[in-house]
Amino acid sequence: NAGVTQTPKFRILKIGQSMTLQCAQDMNHNYMYWYRQDPGMGLKLIYYSVGAGITDKGEVPNGYNVSRSTTEDFPLRLELAAPSQTSVYFCASSYSQYEQFFGPGTRLTVL
Amino acid sequence: ELKVEQNPLFLSMQEGKNYTIYCNYSTTSDRLYWYRQDPGKSLESLFVLLSNGAVKQEGRLMASLDTKARLSTLHITAAVHDLSATYFCAVSPSVGGATNKLIFGTGTLLAVQP
């Protein structure tokens, strides 16, 4: 099993550009999550999904969008990137209410 | 709104010493998680605590949960350099628990000195 995979590992965006962060898991987990981690801080939940076709907002959803068309994939879309979105983004998955497994992260810089 | 506080935020300790990291949270929860993060890396699950009085141990680390006091502790016994990392606790609110949303503490940076 590859577990949770994320692409790209690093990305630099200009202000106003858009991009999609990819996340996939091969553990057949029904729950998936997107977090951001700012320097020296804990993780904050952006969006989550409890199954294909079902998504909901977390603590910090503004400026982001998600979709969940399959169990395996949970892409995160940034529209009109802003410097405040410079962060490390982690995707995670879990089987229902059990422990979450995290991907390796995507380091995003918006200049 | 659920808040999760850890202390200390930074801990420098000598090898062989014992210490405890504390995690307090503000509202009812019956699930608490401890994670480890090495610099520039992802999060690794250490412990899942699911009930009041739960205690789990793995090597030199032991975690406990007191849901009545809304407190979890991560105790380090006879620290070694390999334990140097940032440790996070994360709490899942009981209300809306079906979503398994986690609220993270700010982390404790542990540096074990030889």
Summarize pLDDT for A2-25 with one digit per residue, the tens. 899 999 999 999 999 999 999 999
Interchain pair A45, B101: CB under 8 A:
yes
Distance from CA of A28 to the nearest CA of B (A): 16
CA distances from A3 to A29, A70, A102, A103 (A): 10, 16, 8, 8
Interchain pair B98, A97: CB under 8 A:
yes
Per-residue burial over B43-53, b = 16 or more CB atoms within 10 Å of its CB, e = otherwise? bebbbbbeeee
Angle formed at CA B113 by CA B110 and CA B114, multiple of 5 degrees: 145
Angle formed at CA B110 by CA B94 and CA B82, multiple of 5 degrees: 110
pLDDT tens for each residue of B86-106: 999 999 876 555 667 889 999
Query: What tokens were used for B42?
Result: 């992802």
Which residues in chain A are closer than 8 Å to B4, comparing Cβ atoms? 42
Q: Strands B108-113 and B85-93, how do they pair?
A: antiparallel
Interchain pair A100, B45: CB under 8 A:
yes
Whole-number Å distance between alpha carbons of A71 and A32: 9
Distance from CA of A18 to the nearest CA of B (A): 24
pLDDT at residue B8, as a whole number = 96
pLDDT at residue B99, as a whole number = 65
pLDDT at residue A75, as a whole number = 98
Indicate whether A98 pLDDT > 90: no
Pick from A6-15, A33-42, B72-81: least confident:
A33-42
Q: Strands A19-25 and B71-76, how do they pair?
A: unpaired
**pLDDT > 90 fraction of chain A, expressed in percent and rounded:** 88
pLDDT at residue A1, as a whole number = 79
Which residues in chain B are closer than 8 Å to A96, comparing Cβ atoms? 100
B88 touches chain A (CB under 8 A): yes
B31 touches chain A (CB under 8 A): yes
DSSP character at residue A73: B
Angle formed at CA A89 by CA A6 and CA B41, multiple of 5 degrees: 75
pLDDT tens for each residue of B10-42: 999 999 999 999 999 998 887 899 999 999 999
8 Å CB contact between B110 and B85: yes
Interchain pair B104, A50: CB under 8 A:
no
pLDDT tens for each residue of B2-12: 899 999 999 99
